C-alpha cells in the first residue's frame, strides 16, 4: 500500500508511514497493515527488532483519520468508527507487548493516533523537532489510544495539564513526562537506524543518546500540581485565571477552545487510569467513551468545526464547564455490557 512502507533490513523489520501530505495521519488500512507486520514478525528467528518511523519533515503521525469517521457517522454508520477504534486499540496493546521489541522515531508532531503507535513501545526516540500532545478535547473527544493511561503515569499532575489543555511537549518535556525515553539529534538518526539494522541490538541507541534541550515542565511543577489537582474543570479555570504566569495564560487560551464535556470526561478518565493495572484495562476504559462519542459527546461537531468547515466555531453541547453534570460524565464511563472492548486476536 502507498501509505505505509514495510520491509526487512538486516535483523530489523521496518515500518515507515508514508502519508506526509496528511501529516502521516493513521488510516484504518494503515492500522491493519501495522498489526499484520507485528503478527508476522512475532517470534521470527530472523527479526530481532522492529523500527517504526515516518516520511516527511513535519510529523511522525499527527493523529487518526477522523475525516472518514465524520463521513461515515454523518451517514448514520456508527460501526465504522467503533470497528476502527477496536482494531486500533488492539494494535496499541500489541505494540506495548511486542516481541521483538519496537523502536519508534518520533519526529515533528506526534499526536492522538500517533501517540498510540509510537509511545507505547519499548524504545521511544525524540529529536529536536519532536512535539508530542493529546489535543483531543479540541475536537470533542478525549485522550484515547492508551494516551490517558500514559498521561496518568506522568509526574504529578502533568497528565491532567496535558490532557485537558492539549499542551505540546518538546523533546525535553516529553522525556520528563515519560512519553519518550531518549533524545538523539535527528542528524544521527540514519546512522543509528543503519546500526540497528546491522545488529538488531537496541543497546546501540545508547552511543547516540544526548542530553535533551531543556524543557519548561520541570520548572512549573508547583504551579501545575497546585492548579490541576483542583476538583473539576471550572475550579481549574478559576485557579488559572487567578495566576499571572505565562503558563496559566497559555493554558486558559487552549482550554477556552475545548469541549467542556470532553474536558470533564478527560479529567475523570485520567484520574481513573491511575488505578488501571494494564494497557488492556486502560484501553477498555477509554473505549466506553469513544463508543458513545458520536451520539453523546461533541466529537462530530468538533470535527466539523476544526477539520471539515474549518470555521473554528464549534457549537458545543455545553457553553461552559459549570453546565456539565457529574452524571453525564459517569454515564459516558459506565459499562457497555456486551459491547465492552475485547482485545481478542483478529482473525
- pLDDT tens by residue, 210-266: 999 999 999 999 999 999 999 999 999 999 999 999 999 999 999 999 999 999 999
Asked if residue 45 has pLDDT above 60, the reply is: yes
Asked if residue 208 has pLDDT above 90, the reply is: yes
**Sign, Cα dihedral of 295, 143, 28, 24:** positive
Which DSSP helix (H) or strand (E) runs through 16? strand 12-17
CA angle, residues 140, 272, 180, in degrees to nearest 5: 75
Q: Is the bond preceding 100 in cis, omega lying within 30 degrees of 0?
A: yes
Question: What pLDDT is stored for residue 1 in this prediction?
Answer: 60
Asked if residue 278 has pLDDT above 50, the reply is: yes
User: What amino acid positions are annotated as catalytic residues?
Assistant: 64, 113, 136, 144
- In this structure, the number of other CB atoms found within 10 A of the CB of residue 97 comes to 15
Rg (CA), the chain: 19
Contacts of 68 (CB under 8 A, 6+ apart): 27, 28, 80
Q: What strands lie across the sheet with 49-54, from one edge to the other? A: 4-9, 12-17, 49-54, 102-106, 123-126, 182-183
Classify strands 123-126 and 102-106 as parallel, antiparallel or unpaired.
parallel
Contacts of 76 (CB under 8 A, 6+ apart): none
Asked if residue 347 has pLDDT above 60, the reply is: no
Amino acid at each position: 500500500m502507498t501509505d505505509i512502507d514495510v520491509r526487512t533490513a538486516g535483523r530489523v523489520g521496518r515500518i515507515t508511514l508514508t502519508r506526509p501530505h496528511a501529516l502521516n495521519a493513521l488510516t484504518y488500512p494503515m492500522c491493519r497493515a501495522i498489526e499484520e507486520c507485528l503478527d508476522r514478525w512475532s517470534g521470527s528467528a530472523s527479526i530481532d527488532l522492529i523500527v517504526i518511523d515516518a516520511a516527511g519533515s513535519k510529523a511522525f503521525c499527527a493523529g487518526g483519520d477522523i475525516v472518514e469517521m465524520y463521513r461515515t457517522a454523518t451517514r448514520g454508520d456508527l460501526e465504522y468508527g467503533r470497528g476502527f477504534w477496536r482494531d486500533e486499540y488492539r494494535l496499541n496493546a500489541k505494540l506495548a507487548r511486542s516481541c521483538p521489541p519496537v523502536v519508534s522515531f518520533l519526529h515533528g508532531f506526534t499526536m492522538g493516533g500517533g501517540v498510540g503507535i509510537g509511545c507505547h513501545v519499548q524504545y521511544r526516540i525524540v529529536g529536536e523537532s519532536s512535539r508530542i500532545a493529546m489535543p483531543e478535547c479540541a475536537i470533542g473527544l478525549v485522550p484515547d489510544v492508551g494516551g490517558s493511561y500514559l498521561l496518568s503515569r506522568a509526574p504529578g499532575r502533568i497528565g491532567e495539564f496535558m490532557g485537558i489543555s492539549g499542551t505540546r511537549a518538546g523533546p525535553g518535556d516529553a522525556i520528563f513526562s515519560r512519553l519518550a525515553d531518549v533524545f538523539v539529534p535527528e542528524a544521527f538518526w540514519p546512522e543509528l537506524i543503519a546500526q540497528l539494522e546491522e545488529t538488531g541490538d537496541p543497546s546501540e541507541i545508547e552511543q547516540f543518546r544526548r542530553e535533551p534541550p531543556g524543557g519548561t515542565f520541570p520548572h512549573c511543577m508547583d504551579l501545575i500540581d497546585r492548579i490541576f489537582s483542583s476538583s473539576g474543570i471550572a475550579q481549574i479555570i478559576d485557579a488559572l485565571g487567578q495566576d499571572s504566569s505565562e503558563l496559566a495564560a497559555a493554558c486558559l487560551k487552549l482550554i477556552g477552545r475545548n469541549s467542556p464535556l470532553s474536558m470533564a470526561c478527560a479529567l475523570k478518565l485520567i484520574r481513573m487510569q491511575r488505578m488501571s493495572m494494564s494497557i488492556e484495562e486502560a484501553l477498555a476504559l477509554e473505549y466506553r467513551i469513544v463508543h458513545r462519542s458520536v451520539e453523546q459527546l461533541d466529537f462530530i461537531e468538533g470535527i466539523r468545526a476544526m477539520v471539515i468547515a474549518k470555521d473554528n466555531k464549534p457549537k458545543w453541547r455545553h457553553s461552559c464547564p459549570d453546565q456539565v453534570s457529574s452524571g453525564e460524565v459517569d454515564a459516558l464511563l459506565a459499562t457497555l455490557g456486551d459491547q465492552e472492548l475485547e482485545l481478542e486476536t483478529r482473525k
